[in-house]
Structure 1
Amino acid sequence: MVNAGVSGDLKQDLAAKARELGFVAFGVAPAADDPLRARRLEEWLGAGMHGAMEWMAARADVRKGPQSMWPEARSVIALGMSYAPEIDPLAPGEAKISVYAQGRDYHDTVKKALKALARWLVERVPGTELKVFVDTAPVMEKPLGEAAGIGWQGKHTNLVSREHGSWLFLGAIYTTLELEPDEPHADRCGSCMACQQACPTDAFPRPYQLDARRCISYLTIEHAGPIPEEFREAIGTRIYGCDDCLAVCPWNRFADAAQRHRAFLPREDLVAPRLAQLLALDDAAFRQKFSGSPIKRIGRNRFVRNCLIAAGNSGDQALHSQVSALLADPDPVVAEAARWAQARLTTSP
C-alpha cells in the first residue's frame, strides 16, 4: 500500500490531470462503508420504491459502500463532467428528450476519461490497484460525490454543485491508495422546495426521497410494460426522461454551458424532435438513428410507446395517420399505447 505521506502532491497532480481530461469536479472520500447510507438504501428498497429495477435489490449488499464491494479499497476518487445546457430544459416543445440524452452516450465518454486517469495514476504510482465505475455497477455515486465534497445530494436526490448546478455526469475510481480525503459537502438546499413542487407526477413522498414508480424518467426509460394510465397525461410530451426537478434548482444559475464537455453537445434533431418522424421508426431505423446515444438501450418498442403517449397528449390532429398505423403493431404494448393515443386525439378539441 502506498504511503499516505506522498498523497499531498500526488492529489494535486491528480486533480490537474482530471481537469485536463475534461472533468470539472474532483474530490476524494474515504472508502469505508457508511452505515447511514446503507440503512437509507435498505429502507428505500424495503418500501419497493425501486419499482422494477430489480438489479438495485439484487446487489444491495455491495451497494452499502466501497469496501462492501472491494475490501481492499482505501480511497474513492469522485469526478464529474458537466453537461450544462445552453437552452432552458423547461421550454415547451413538440417532444422533449432529457438534456443528458441529447448528445453522445455519457457512459462511453466518462469511462474513457476515467481509464485514462487510472492509467496515469498507475504510471505515477506503480503497484496501485484500482477500479473505475460509471453508472454500470452497484456504486452509489451521488452519496460518494457528497462525501468527497464535489456537491450534495439535494432534495430531488441528485447531486447538486455550487459551481455546476444539477448538470454533472458522475464517475468514481476506487483505489488502494490512501489519499487525503476532502471534507464532505454541506447541504445547501435550505428551505427551498422548488424541485418537490415541480414534479409533474408527485414522485417525492418527502424531500430527499424519490419513489421511482412515479418518476417520469423511470416510466419512460426503465419501465418496460404499459405506462400506468394515472401518469400518462402528466407525462405530457416527454419521450425520454424528465428534467423538471433538476431544471428548477436555483443553483443552476451558476452552471456555465461553456464548461460542458464537447461530447455532450446536443444533436439538433434531439433538441427539437418531430413526433411524426419518430412514430415511423422501425427497429432498424431506430438503431441507426440512435447509434451512440443512450436512448438506444431502451429499444424501439419502448421508445415508440413513449412517443405515442406524447402524441396523445399533443392534441396534434396531424398525427392521426402515424398513430393509426401503429394500432396493429406486433408489440402489444405499442398497440395499446396507439389505441390510447388515438382515443385522446379523437376527443381533442
Structure 2
Amino acid sequence: MKGLRKEQLVARALEEGFVKAGVCRPDAVPEAAGRLRAFLAEGRHGQMGWMAEREEWRGSPAALWPEARSVIMLAEAYTPEDDPMAGLAERDRGVISCYAQGKDYHDLVKRRLKRLGRWLIDQAGGEIKVFVDTAPVMEKPLAQAAGLGWQGKHTNLLGRDLGNWVFLGAIFTTLELEPDAPEVDHCGSCTACLDICPTKAFPAPYQLDARRCISYLTIEHKGPVDPELRGLMGNRIYGCDDCLAVCPWNKFAVAAGEMGYQPKVGLPELAELAALDDAGFRARFAGSPIKRIGRDRFVRNVLYAIGNSGLPALREVAGGLVGDPDPTVADAAQWALGRLGA
C-alpha cells in the first residue's frame, strides 16, 4: 500500500469533513443476504422493486465489485440544532425530515468521497468506486462491520460517539487495508424508537415494515396511501424523524459541520404548498432531495396533512384540488374535505 498507514486515511477523512471512518472486508456481512431475503419475502419493501431487482449485489458487497479488497465506510453528521419534533404541533404547517431541509446530501457526500478517493489513489494507488445511497450497497451493516456504530432497534445506524443523525458513504477499493473491529449493540432494554412510531412500522426490534413507515409512504409510495394510515401521518409531508429524534444516544451526537445541511425549507405553510403547480414545485425545491418525488406525490402528502390539521380554514384549499388532473391528488383532496367536515 506504498507505506500509507490507516491512521493517515482516517485523519484525511476527518479533514474532508467526515466525522468517523472505518474499514471492513467486502465479505464482512455474510448474514446480510439472508436478512434481505427474508425482508423481501415478507413483502416489507412495498413498492421498492429495485431492492429485489438487485438482490444479489445488495446482499453481497463482494459480488457488486469482485475486485474490491476493502470497503472504507464514512459517516457525515447532519445533526439538527432544534427539536425536529416541535413542528408536529404546528397544524397549519408541514414537517419535512431534517435530512431534506438543506441541500441534497447525495451531491455533498459524493463530492467529499471523490476527493478522499483521489487522495487515496495518489497516496497508495489501486482503484476505487464510491457509493452514496444510490447503488445496491448495504451501507448500515457494512458501517457496523467497520466499527462506525451499530444498527439500532429502529434499523438505523447509531454510535456512542455519533448519535444517529448521520449520512453514510462507501469507498470500495482494490487496496488491502487493515479492517477495524465491528461495533456491538448498545441499545440495551430501551424501546423509545419503537414506542414512538405513529404507524407501528416495527413488527419487532431491529425489523422494519416499510409499508407502514411514514418515510416510505411520503417518499417512495406511489398512488393513494391506505386510508387507515393517512390519519396517522399527522403533518409529516416528507419523511419522518420520530424514531431518530427520541434515541437517547443523541446526547452524544456530533454537530453538523457542512453548512449545506442548514435548514432552508423550515416549516412551510400547507396552504402555500398545496397551491404549487409542477413548475412552482420544481423551482421551490431546486437542489433539494424533495424534488425527486415530483409535485403530485408531494401535494398528495400536503393534502393528507391538511386533512389531519382539523383546521376549517383549510377547507377551501382542499376544495380547490378535488378536480386536480392527478387522480391521487384529487382523491387526497376529497379525503381532506371529508376529514374537515365538508
Q: One fold, TM greater than 0.5?
A: yes
Matching residue of 2:332? 337
Matching residue of 1:255? 253
Contact kept in structure 2, 1:29 and 1:147, CA below 8 Å: yes
TM-score (norm 2): 0.97
Q: Does 1:162 align with 2:185?
A: no
What amino acid is the match of 1:169? Answer: F
Superposed counterparts of 1:200-239, under 5 Å: 200-239=198-237
Superposed counterparts of 1:112-127, under 5 Å: 112-126=111-125
Distance 1:182 1:229 in 2: 47
* 1:208-250 C-alpha deviation (Å, 9 max, x unpaired): 0100000000000000110100101110000000001111100
Distance 1:215 1:68 in 2: 30
Q: Does 1:39 align with 2:30?
A: no
SS in 2 for 1:234: coil
Q: Which of 244, 261, 275 matches 1:264?
A: 261
* 1:175-205 C-alpha deviation (Å, 9 max, x unpaired): 0111111100010001111111011001011
SS in 2 for 1:346: coil
Greater than 6 Å deviation, 4+ residue runs: none
SS in 2 for 1:186: coil
Q: Does 1:97 align with 2:96?
A: yes
Q: Give the gaps of 5 or more residues in structure 1.
A: none
Matching residue of 1:24? 19
Contact kept in structure 1, 2:29 and 2:141, CA below 8 Å: no
What amino acid is the match of 2:193? Answer: C
Contact kept in structure 2, 1:84 and 1:164, CA below 8 Å: no
Matching residue of 2:305? 310
Distance 1:25 1:322 in 2: 46
Contact kept in structure 2, 1:224 and 1:302, CA below 8 Å: yes
Displacement of 1:33 after TM fit? 5.3
What amino acid is the match of 1:299? Answer: G
Paired residues in the alignment total 338
Matching residue of 1:195? 193
Superposed counterparts of 1:77-156, under 5 Å: 77-91=72-86, 92-93=89-90, 94-126=93-125, 128-156=126-154
Matching residue of 1:245? 243
Contact kept in structure 2, 1:84 and 1:260, CA below 8 Å: no
Distance 2:262 2:200 in 1: 31
Distance 2:29 2:149 in 1: 17
Q: Kindly, what percent of the aligned residue pairs are identical? A: 60
What amino acid is the match of 2:127? Answer: E
What amino acid is the match of 2:278? Answer: D
Over the aligned positions, Cα root-mean-square deviation in angstroms equals: 1.1
* 1:91-128 C-alpha deviation (Å, 9 max, x unpaired): 133211001000100000000000111111111123x1
Contact kept in structure 2, 1:327 and 1:338, CA below 8 Å: yes
Displacement of 1:255 after TM fit? 1.2
Distance 2:225 2:82 in 1: 29
What amino acid is the match of 1:265? Answer: Q
SS in 1 for 2:31: helix
Displacement of 1:17 after TM fit? 1.4
What amino acid is the match of 2:178? Answer: E
TM-score (norm 1): 0.95
SS in 2 for 1:115: helix
What amino acid is the match of 1:122? Answer: I
Matching residue of 1:173? 171
Distance 1:253 1:125 in 2: 38
SS in 2 for 1:235: coil
Distance 1:21 1:33 in 2: 26
Q: Give the gaps of 5 or more residues in structure 2.
A: none
Distance 1:34 1:277 in 2: 46
Matching residue of 1:65? 60
What amino acid is the match of 1:141? Answer: E
Contact kept in structure 2, 1:26 and 1:150, CA below 8 Å: yes
Contact kept in structure 1, 2:212 and 2:229, CA below 8 Å: yes
